[in-house]
Amino acid sequence: MTAPGSTDPDGTWIGIDLGTQSVRVLAVRGDGVVVGRGSSALSSRRDGPRHEQDPEQWWSAVGEASRHATADLDPATVRGVATDGTSGTVLLTDVDGTPLTPGLMYDDARAHDHLAAVDVAGADVWAALGYQRMQVSWGLPKLLWLLQERAEAGGSRDVRLSHQVDLVNRRLVGHAVATDLSNALKTGAHLVDHGWPTTVMDRLGVPAEVLPPLVAPGAGLGRVGAAGAAATGIPAGTPVVAGTTDGCASQLGAGVVDVGSWNSVLGTTLVLKGVTERPVVDPAGVVYSHRGPAGRWLPGGASSSGAGVVPSMFPGADLDALTRGAREHEPSGALTYPLVSEGERFPFVAPGARAFTVGSSGDDADRFASVLQGVAHVERLCYDYLDLLGAPLHGDVVLTGGASGNAYWCQLRADVLGREVRVPDDATPALGMAVLAAAGEGDPAPVAAAMTGTSRTYEPRQTRDRLLEGYVALVDQLERRGWLAEPVAAHARRGAHA
């Protein structure tokens, strides 16, 4: 059998992505050729702050999607499988792994009454890990809510915490499994010590036996058993590797695995994720770090700015025509802060922040140009903030997300950043899990180099200096409104004038 970390072009690795709306599965050869794919839809129940899914549906959807992906494979070529899941999605099971509750999804906010206790009990640990405080949708507050509901209903206390990926991995191998440190971050795992913070859990009344063992992403969990093989079509005996959250999986799929490299994901909002040797500790809690494979860290932050402003500002518009027109407005006559919803999270925390436009634009193309430039300015400010925190930025910048399909916008972002950027061939979480399945506990870099590729590269143009005038103007506006701290603003201006 090929060792973990191999780039055997004849081997096949399977990546399973548990998304919100569907399960997606890819079977990928060691040379990056996709030789099988499948998907199966998922449904949700939403009610105010509640968002649930049926855990049994996760497994049935994994079975359907995997059977499609593996239908034409030679079983002898399949070398491993890994699964990612939505971050912070948890449930309770009995000791045999049977679900006792629905899956409380990544954005379920019902546990607000438990958040203060979590932040007080774990204040020192959360500060040491860099995120400073938890959020209501994170896994640990939801675990407390589930345990309380269970106790009040008079149910057995002999229960187990399960993350979304844990249920699937257990069904694959046929026995209880450890959970990975990436999915366990929001449930309070101590990512440096590789364990649960027992003092914190004792304060919160979480019994030790409720919590699963912890392993690093890429660690072996077992092999696909007979029942798992019958349900999924994945050959019995295939090694099962601990995965990550879906966001970290996308980063692996983009080939962002080397220290100092960063992935800018621009869709409705903007998310940055990078690779470091050590966690990035941010006193403001704006940036926090996941645990990655091979002992590395994956710091990042999520902005509330992004391309989500376009549909509301330009309903029904011909975006291709607007993009062509935007080329004639560098810089735009207006300065736009493209906040999708009230409140900013990265590169600063400002719950009262609101979108704004300063100045006047001549036409829709000019207004559109101000939005494209505004997002690029926020992106640069995010990188300047990371630089201020001491994060390494010397590696590749890889653009993914829906906006990476707009070639002009990619070029504009390269101009404002002042550095080369690249767009990968594919950056799906399922591909990232295939990469991790192949790398195992080894260095994912050679595997990612063989299994991922670049479709386009953009070099900054000479016109970038006049675009940076708008960047500095936006920094000034954000500081004047009291949202951006003076040291961050000063650092950004120095970088622009260097």
Give the model's confidence band at 426: pLDDT under 50 very low, under 70 low, under 90 confident, else very high: confident
Measured in degrees and rounded to the nearest 5, phi and psi for residue 150 equal: -65, -45
Every domain of the chain and the residues it spans: 12-247, 256-426+462-497
Q: What is the CATH number of domain 256-426+462-497?
A: 3.30.420.40
In this predicted model, what pLDDT tens digit does every residue of 170-179 receive, in sequence order?
A: 999 999 999 9
Peptide bond connecting 331 to the previous residue in cis, omega within 30 degrees of 0:
yes
Q: How far is CA 299 from the centre of its chain?
A: 10
For the chain, what percentages of helix, strand and coil (3-state, to nearest 5) are there?
A: 40, 20, 40
For residue range 129-148, list pLDDT tens digits in order: 989 999 999 999 999 999 99
**Is pLDDT larger for residue 497 or for residue 143?**
143
Q: Is the pLDDT of residue 464 over 50?
A: yes
Q: What is the pTM of this model?
A: 0.93
Question: pLDDT of 217-240, one tens digit each?
Answer: 999 999 999 999 999 999 999 999
The two domains 12-247 and 256-426+462-497 share their CATH topology (first three levels equal): yes
Q: Name the pLDDT band for 52 (thresholds 50, 70, 90).
A: very high
- The single residue listed with the structure tokens 């607000």 is 112
C-beta of residue 301 within 8 angstroms of C-beta of residue 264: no
Q: What is the predicted pLDDT for the residue at 73?
A: 97
- Percentage of residues of the chain with pLDDT beyond 90: 93
Neighbours of 465 (CB within 10 A): 10
pLDDT band at 430 (very low <50, low <70, confident <90, very high): very high
CA distances from 436 to 14, 75, 160, 366, 446 (A): 10, 19, 26, 44, 11
- Say which CATH topology domain 12-247 has: Nucleotidyltransferase; domain 5 (3.30.420)
pLDDT value at 22 more than 50 = yes
> Half-sphere exposure of 244 toward its Cβ, with a 13 Å CA cutoff?
31
